[in-house]
Structure 1
């Protein structure tokens, strides 16, 4: 079996999803929390100066703009609406076509993304993808808390989580094709190659395009991603 694993933000979607999720939450669930937006300057500067990592930046965004606790029912209901908006408006048509072709060829499709799992699962469901590897947030029963329950699913941590997922699902020997737009996913690209699969640079950042060209990886352009202040390569 071939397992086709896709990064999400700016690979399948035109832009990242974390800030749009927070904006959506403010608009539909907690408009009064807009007064907390200026406080995001502090964790934003801390992240920009490398005093905190992405996981902590996400946690502070959640704490300030979503609140310290949110019920599962409320999160899941909001995520379904958000997912419909994102899939309708932000997924590249060429990405939809590529997913359909991989599915028709019998590939097992997986989303592997640093985005928060509670809304990634809803986006995956709208795309017909049920296998999700993402940043898991901390749940206590049916209550969502701001902090991540494990490492942010990014860079080397993503590759480790992908390898673990393959092992748990009896796919340790499967051929892996990995698709991403960003050089931070180099460990996952290399994991795919080590397993006899293929690394595919999609809508690549300049650094990834140069690396993919050097290594002879396939490069495809499904669309033009929006710029992000949070990407460094």
Structure 2
């Protein structure tokens, strides 16, 4: 049997969402003048709130504004390592670290499944000792990272689809796997339902209510 412990990232293992923080930190370090576009990115965020801009499109717009339409791979790697170091120092729940260590000690393969872009989430996962990362992909061309999502945004039902594809790619049948899944948000309900053990971590109110109705465990790593 394969034993998998699958973790969402933002607000499950981290104190706060990481994408905007990564964008701002990278723009400040690499191209400070791009911070002038923050108000424009905020307007795009309002468009998302009004449902006239999709979640994937919002990510692409924000990336284009603050990182540029094409970012050299070397710059992205440097930025990801710098951000991961900062986050590891002061942005990770102690409870998340303890649970990752406990799952590893119990023989679980530790997997991150996040809607964040893999090009920076992988650096965070590496510092925390994850074995694998399932994340939103980005188009890569000619040694650059483009402001364009490759494939699906790893969010909601798409996250489950991508986890299932990852299992198949690694030769693991669901019937031969025991899966634990940790998340803070109701958007991950499909994966929480699919897992053998679903754990609502630091849940926002809708997920806390859902967990009570469906019998999922609830943990508070923020304490």
Gaps (5+ residues) in structure 1? 225-233
C-alpha separation in 1, matches of 2:32 and 2:171: 45
Residue number in structure 2 paired with 1:6: 7
**Structure 2 counterparts to residues 167-178 of structure 1, below 5 A:** 167-172=168-173, 173-178=176-181
Is 2:203 the partner of 1:200? no
Aligned counterpart, 1:101:
102
> How many residues are treated as equivalent by the alignment?
220
Question: What residue number does 2:212 align with?
Answer: 213
SS state of the match for residue 135, structure 1? strand
Describe the superposition over 1:43-93 as per-residue Cα deviations: whole angstroms up to 9, x where unpaired: 112211111211110100000011111110110011001001111111001
Whether 1:157 and 2:158 are equivalent positions in the alignment is: yes
Contact 1:121 1:130 in 2 (8 A): no
- Contact 2:24–2:35 (CA<8 Å) still a contact in 1? no
**SS of residue in 2 equivalent to 1:136:** strand
Q: Which runs of 4+ in 1 moved over 6 A?
A: none
Task: Write out per-residue CA displacement over residues 156-178 of structure 1, whole angstroms, 9 at most, x where no aligned residue.
Answer: 00010011111111222211111
Aligned partners of 1:202 and 1:35: how far apart in 2? 36
What residue is the counterpart of 2:74 in the other structure?
Answer: 73
Instruction: State how far apart, in whole Å, the 1-side matches of 2:69 and 2:142 are.
Output: 15
How far apart, CA to CA, are the structure 1 residues paired with 2:210 and 2:76?
A: 39
Tell me if 1:91 matches 2:102: no
Could you give the per-residue CA deviations for residues 109-134 of structure 1, whole angstroms, max 9, x where no partner exists? 00000001110000011011130001
Q: State how far apart, in whole Å, the 2-side matches of 1:62 and 1:99 are.
A: 30
- Residue in 2 aligned with 1:111? 112
Would you say the 8 A contact 2:41–2:62 is kept in 1?
yes
Contact 2:37 2:65 in 1 (8 A): yes
Does the 8 A contact of 1:9 with 1:15 survive in 2?
A: yes
Q: Does 1:36 align with 2:37?
A: yes
Verify the 8 A CA contact 2:139 2:145 in the aligned structure 1. yes
Q: Please name the residue that 2:222 is paired with.
A: 223
TM-score under structure 1 normalisation? 0.92
Could you say which residue in structure 1 is the equivalent of 2:49? 48
